[in-house]
Amino acid sequence: MHIDIITCLPRLLESPFSDSILKRAINKGLVNVNIIDLRPYSLGKHKEIDDYAFGGGAGMVMMIEPIDRCISDLKSKREYDDIIYMSPDGEMLTQPVANELSLKKNLILLCGHYKGVDERVREHLITREISIGNYVLSGGELAAAVVADAVIRLLPGVLNDETSALTDSFQDGLVAPPVYTRPSEYKGWKVPEVLLSGHEAKITQWKYEKSLERTKNRRPDLLS
């Protein structure tokens, strides 16, 4: 998979891809992540990428010209399955969306900033908008990192145990069941006996029942 992330603040995205699972995925050649600095695509004297909004209002707006030049340059090198704008009013990121994106080959993630992007970017240049929640961030960089993480961990070979992602919360519409590790008893707090029984069918049933119970108690919206 190839992911290009367009941003006006590339340093914000250095850390998420320089450690842990994402770094290993990149080092293994399972995914190529490029952080694209938008400013070199500005033809302005001071490499401006934002301007005042027509009609007034507080805050600056990212200009269409540098974004268009950047996306056009990237598209001249490869064909993209989706060009995604990280937007607070976009489609909500869910596990099924992450699953779908993990099957793509080439993606662009466009990070907004300031008061967002010129509306013509959304109308003519992107193919999809994704939000990670009903709140506003300072920019789309953290949201893009979240999307990339959710997608990359699903790629074959990224996780040491490829069945791990299949048992994550939301994969079956439920949150994950409780998990325990050694010691089996600590300060009198015991691990449920069924998990120590070695009886696979009973353990599977216990996990399902606990997932259902936890979903009903904590995320009943998922059951609708």
* Tens-digit pLDDT profile for residues 22-76: 999 999 999 999 999 999 999 988 899 999 999 988 899 999 999 999 999 999 9
Question: How far is Cα 216 from Cα 211, in angstroms, rounded to an integer?
Answer: 9
The pTM assigned to this predicted structure is 0.88
- Number of other residues whose CB lies within 10 A of the CB of residue 171: 15
Q: What is the pLDDT of residue 163?
A: 52
Estimate to the nearest angstrom the gap between the alpha carbon of 35 and the chain centroid.
15
Average pLDDT over residues 82-107: 96
Q: Are 75 and 100 in contact (CB under 8 A)?
A: no
Question: How far is Cα 43 from Cα 92, in angstroms, rounded to an integer?
Answer: 34
pLDDT bracket for residue 205 (50, 70, 90): very high
> Long-range CB contacts (< 8 A, 24+ apart) of 73-78?
73/41, 74/4, 74/6, 74/36, 74/108, 78/2, 78/106
How many H-runs (helices) and E-runs (strands) does the chain carry?
Answer: 7, 9
Q: CA dihedral in degrees (58, 60, 65, 70; nearest 10)?
A: -140
Q: Which domains does the chain carry?
A: 2-152 (3.40.1280.10), 169-223 (1.10.1270.20)
